[in-house]
Amino acid sequence: MASRPHQKDLTTGPIGPTLLAFALPTLGANILQTLNGSINTIWVGRFLGESAVSATANANTIMFLMFAAVFGFGMAATILIGQSMGRRDVEAARRAFGAAIGLVLAGSVVIATLGWVFTPDILHALATPPAAMPLALAYLRVIFLGLPASMLLVLLGMALRGVGDSVTPLWFTGLSVLLDSGLNPVFIKGLFGMPALGIAGSATATLIANHVAALGLLAVVYRRDLPIRLRGPELRYLLPSADLVRTIVTKGLPMGAQMLVVSVAGLTMTGLVNSYGVDTSAAYGVSMQLWAYIQMPALALGAAVSSMAAQNIGAAKWDRVEAITRSGLLFSAIITTTMVGVIILFDRPVMALFLGGGSHALPIARHIQVLASWNFIIFGMTMVLFSTVRANGAVWAPLVMLLIAMFPVRLGFAFGLMPSLHADALWWSFPLGSIANFVMALGYYRYGNWRSQRLAVPPAQAHQQAQTDAEPAGRLHPTG
């Protein structure tokens, strides 16, 4: 099948090389995003101190929670797009994309508004250290303003991966990172005649970068006439039919809830960490920066497995779905193990970039790495299994498994053993929860009923006729 530049048919060709070739641009985008967060944390830590680092760690945890509230809808639509492309049904992919844009942007505007209003209450509920409270408040409120643009940027990247293009999102992630990291010191310190905004300047740089990158990526979708673009009567897909809303919401809510579960568990853990003081809070914040790098290969492979599995499920090529999963598990285990080893070997000089060589938080952060980092090897393999089953619309079982792993296992262990192990109970709870989650995920993948479930774009109603009148082919070739 012919395809546009960067756009791949994921239902043919060798499994392993195709999976790696598709995952590498996603990994590159993840590296750039995480590097951007690290650079911004370095700017904040060097210019504003440990309290500011603690403030950004608390604020970013909250943003993940807000992000999760609408992200599941985008995930559901992306799977619909991938399956539709596997069936060569481009119109169905466009209807799913339009629905995702309409639902996610509307949801993000609501979440951003509520977040702005209730930022002080959220930070108090999180037990943010008093020294970090005013900084976290200033930072988070500006970040909320940029939530719709952030969601649009992520959603466009997900949709492009659904149609087999993982390269274009990489370039615009690079643009966003270049702008964000470059503008951070400008707005923090007030360089080149700009106002000196302190920690709010870091958030302002992120806001500007995300708006520029999202609008630029949207322009490329139309300039290249990619399959997901909407024109003329297709723009009414932004107001989706009730059946399509029901499909996306029914599948999207459990997937979004999985992120909410992780977020609530993370908020609870952050509250426990904060109870040990600013040094431990700052050490945990820097540890999360390094963990973001360790997770990157697993997340990239998970995204690639999901996109490949969705297209192959749409094409009814189940033998390839099994091979994709096996390759994903192998690659995830090898690459993540390597990442853990490298991070532990070189953790001190890297952490000193954030905290300075004489910081009291540095030995705490190194201790956290030794006890908890290896859990991401198991985490990565679990993400591959979840990505496969979710690609066929099986979303409730992963949610239940995640709930069990996060709360009765991870947090139950942490709360139960804090009196005897103190802060070490928090760090040991990470691998324990990951092991429980992997065992359940493997059992469900091998013996569950996920293969019999289906996720499909509902047939178009009356408005489809208006679209076909304007564009004669209801089922288009993926090249448009």
Pick left, alpha or beta for residue 277 (phi over 0 → left; psi -120 to 50 → alpha; otherwise beta).
Answer: left
At residue 214, what is the residue type? A
User: Could you tell me if 353 and 412 are in contact, meaning their C-beta atoms sit under 8 angstroms apart?
Assistant: no
Q: Name the residue ranges covered by the structural domains of the chain.
A: 15-454
Q: What is the 3-state secondary structure (H, E, C) of 369-387?
A: HHHHCCHHHHHHHHHHHHH
Q: Would you call 7 helix, strand, or coil by DSSP? A: strand
Question: Locate tokens 């990994």: which residue?
Answer: 27
User: Could you tell me if 467 and 233 are in contact, meaning their C-beta atoms sit under 8 angstroms apart?
Assistant: yes
Alpha carbon distance 31, 295 (integer Å): 10
Dihedral sign, Cα of residue 138, residue 141, residue 145, residue 148 = positive
Alpha carbon distance 153, 156 (integer Å): 5
Give the CA radius of gyration of the chain. Answer: 22
Alpha carbon distance 340, 376 (integer Å): 8
Alpha carbon distance 10, 80 (integer Å): 15
Give pLDDT, residue 464. Answer: 41
Largest CA distance in the chain: 71
- Identify which of 15, 8, 7, 159 has the alpha carbon closest to the alpha carbon of residue 82: 159
Q: Would you call 165 helix, strand, or coil by DSSP? A: strand
Q: Would you call 146 helix, strand, or coil by DSSP? A: coil
User: Could you tell me if 68 and 104 are in contact, meaning their C-beta atoms sit under 8 angstroms apart?
Assistant: no
CA-CA distances (angstroms) from residue 328 to 20, 322, 406?
A: 9, 10, 24
User: Could you tell me if 93 and 177 are in contact, meaning their C-beta atoms sit under 8 angstroms apart?
Assistant: no
Q: Which long-range contacts (CB under 8 A, 24 or more apart) does 187-190 make?
A: 188/43, 188/44, 188/47, 188/48, 189/47
Indicate the burial class of 439 (C-beta count within 10 angstroms; 0-12, 13-18, 19 or more).
Answer: middle
Q: Would you call 239 helix, strand, or coil by DSSP? A: coil
Half-sphere exposure of 298 (CA within 13 A, CB side): 25
CA-CA distances (angstroms) from residue 455 to 318, 323, 375, 377, 394?
A: 15, 21, 32, 30, 9
CA 87 to chain CA centroid, Å, is 27
Q: How far apart are the first and last CA of the chain?
A: 12
Question: What are the average pLDDT values for consecutive 10-residue runs of the chain, which has 480 residues?
Answer: 54 89 86 78 72 70 67 81 87 88 85 84 73 76 86 87 85 91 86 81 88 94 88 87 84 84 83 86 85 85 90 91 96 93 82 74 87 93 95 92 95 93 93 96 95 72 38 31
User: Could you tell me if 391 and 310 are in contact, meaning their C-beta atoms sit under 8 angstroms apart?
Assistant: yes
Alpha carbon distance 301, 286 (integer Å): 24
CA-CA distances (angstroms) from residue 182 to 50, 188, 189, 212?
A: 21, 11, 12, 14
391-404 burial, b if ≥16 CB within 10 A, otherwise e? bbbbbbbbbebbbb
Q: Would you call 212 helix, strand, or coil by DSSP? A: helix
* Helix H or strand E encompassing 388: helix 375-390
Backbone angles phi, psi at 61, to 5 degrees: -65, -40
Question: Locate tokens 């802060």: which residue?
Answer: 423
Give pLDDT, residue 201. Answer: 83
Alpha carbon distance 22, 165 (integer Å): 8
Token reading at 342:
């490298």
Question: Locate tokens 């003081």: which residue?
Answer: 277
Token reading at 429:
């709870």
Q: Would you call 471 helix, strand, or coil by DSSP? A: coil
Global confidence as pTM: 0.76
